[in-house]
Amino acid sequence: MKAILLNDFGGPEVMAFGETRNPEFNSNQVLIRVHATSVNRPDVIQRQGNYPPPPGESSILGLEAAGTIEAVGKDVPIWQAGDRVTALVGGGGYAELVAAWPGHLIRIPDSISFNEAACIPETFLTAYLVLFLLGRLSDGEAVLLHGGGGGVNTAAIQLCRALIRDCKIIVTASTAKLERVAELGADHVVDYRTQEFSSEVRGLTDGQGVDVILDHVGGPYLAGNMRCLAVDGRLLQIGVSEGAQCEINLALLMVKRQQIIGSVLRSRSVEEKADIIRSFTERVMPFFEKGVMVPLISDVLPLAHAAEGHRIMESSRHFGKIVLAVNPENA
Ligand SMILES: NC(=O)c1ccc[n+]([C@@H]2O[C@H](COP(=O)([O-])OP(=O)(O)OC[C@H]3O[C@@H](n4cnc5c(N)ncnc54)[C@H](OP(=O)(O)O)[C@@H]3O)[C@@H](O)[C@H]2O)c1
């Protein structure tokens, strides 16, 4: 099959479009013919050599893939060859074929294209897991999302809007993305380049702070996050893009009864991921079927141009997701 292969770790130039062996799949898995995949920030970190795939996963980049089932292992119930699916995979998405666990598949509604479906698993599942299953975001609560123009947070804004009644959604973004973040559903936007976010958030919540924060920035944001997190608030940490080390005021954490919860989706067990996907399919997929939720696509490139997709992501020019079309005739 054709795939994106890494010659080395480093910049986007280490990615090459070439031939490699078809993936193996066992009797409990399915093989998917990939029509589209999409770029996630963890792919960039893996390419740089700082995010190795978990044991047993493909070393090919790519955490999600949409396509049709090519072959079904003999012990797999329900799924059939030809089914249109989008899959969460531990690796291997930047390729013509990928192996996946049946519990990690989501049936693609007729109203959704393969390109759109390729933008659902990694970002929507991450946001759903941390905000709703771990963060217990509830009706009437306020949430702060950092980086509203990214893949995870364009999903998070839509999820908060659709699943929570009377949710106050506050979103940080860079200047050029503020307007689009507001159009997508944020109640308030904060320009993280020119404004100090924790004072803004306190002002927007009558000094109370927000109940839940989704952060991927890390160390430099911890003190500000704790300052504008309410009593009994939950801080969900899913990345450390600007540093993993910092000081923490444990007295504040204790007095405000705050919780800091870390999560990585990729390293979870096959069963845990299947449970998350089952819950997501029941609760969230109906919103896609009705057209209430739409994966936001910023750019579509052929798989062979994956390096350009990484350059776009690293320069933060995108708003939403960067799709890699593997079989453009089936977009
Ligand atoms: N733990 C997990 O399970 C998991 C799963 C998936 C992703 N992640 C992590 O989640 C993060 C987002 O991933 P993604 O794929 O959505 O990446 P992405 O599309 O690049 O989104 C990141 C966004 O953050 C904004 N940003 C950058 N610096 C910021 C700052 N200091 N304050 C506020 N916003 C800032 C960026 O744009 P502007 O600078 O232009 O505003 C961009 O819109 C990454 O760190 C990734 O590693 C974690």
Q: What is the 3-class SS of 70-126, one letter each residue?
A: EEECCCCCCCCCCCEEEEECCCCCCECEEEECHHHEEECCCCCCHHHHCCCHHHHHH
Q: How far is the CA of 1 from the centre of ligand 1 (A)?
A: 31
How many folded domains does the chain comprise? 2
**Strand, helix or coil for residue 195:** coil
Based on the number of CB atoms within 10 Å of its own CB, is 302 exposed (0-12), middle (13-18) or buried (19 or more)?
Answer: middle
Tens-digit pLDDT profile for the chain (331 aa)? 999 999 999 999 999 999 999 999 999 999 999 999 999 999 999 999 999 999 999 999 999 999 999 999 999 999 999 999 999 999 999 999 999 999 999 999 999 999 999 999 999 999 999 999 999 999 999 999 999 999 999 999 999 999 999 999 999 999 999 999 999 999 999 999 999 999 999 999 999 999 999 999 999 999 999 999 999 999 999 999 999 999 999 999 999 999 999 999 999 999 999 999 999 999 999 999 999 999 999 999 999 999 999 999 999 999 999 999 998 777 7
Do residues 282 and 249 both lie within one domain? no
Do residues 146 and 204 both lie within one domain? yes
CA 180 to chain centre: 19
Domain end point (choices 240, 262, 284): 262
- Tokens representing residue 222 in the block: 């911890």
| pLDDT at 328 (0 to 100) | 74
| pLDDT at 329 (0 to 100) | 72
Do residues 221 and 154 both lie within one domain? yes
The CATH number for 70's domain is 3.90.180.10
**Are the C-beta atoms of residues 230 and 253 closer than 8 Å to each other?**
no
Do residues 252 and 157 both lie within one domain? yes
Do residues 26 and 98 both lie within one domain? yes
Q: How far is the CA of 239 from the centre of ligand 1 (A)?
A: 8
| pLDDT at 81 (0 to 100) | 98
Which protein residue's CA is at the shortest distance from atom 31 of ligand 1?
217
Do residues 102 and 15 both lie within one domain? yes
Q: How far is the CA of 216 from the centre of ligand 1 (A)?
A: 6
- Tokens representing residue 331 in the block: 């977009």
In the chain the first and final C-alpha atoms are separated, in Å, by 19
Separation between Cα atoms, residue 168 and residue 226, nearest integer Å: 18
Do residues 35 and 145 both lie within one domain? no
In terms of residue numbers, what domain contains 207?
Answer: 123-262
Domain end point (choices 229, 247, 262): 262
- Counting atoms of ligand 1 from 1, which one is nearest the CA of 266? 3
Return phi, psi of residue 139, to 5°: -50, 140
Pocket of ligand 1 (CB under 6 A): 40-42, 122-123, 126, 146-147, 149-152, 172-174, 177, 192, 216-217, 238-239, 241-242, 263-265, 313, 316
The CATH number for 223's domain is 3.40.50.720
Do residues 130 and 157 both lie within one domain? yes
Do residues 238 and 249 both lie within one domain? yes
Do residues 187 and 301 both lie within one domain? no
Do residues 255 and 127 both lie within one domain? yes
Do residues 107 and 221 both lie within one domain? no
- Tokens representing residue 22 in the block: 């078809």
CA 317 to chain centre: 17
DSSP 130: I
Domain end point (choices 262, 288, 321): 262
Return phi, psi of residue 214, to 5°: -110, 115
| pLDDT at 92 (0 to 100) | 98
Write out the E strands in the chain.
2-6, 15-19, 30-39, 64-72, 84-88, 97-100, 105-107, 142-146, 168-173, 188-191, 210-215, 229-237, 259-262, 297-302, 321-325
Residues 6+ away with beta carbon under 8 Å from 237: 215, 216, 218, 260, 261, 262, 263
Task: Give, for ligand 1, the residue of 221, 297, 316 to mutate: max count of ligand atoms closer than 8 Å to Cβ.
Answer: 316
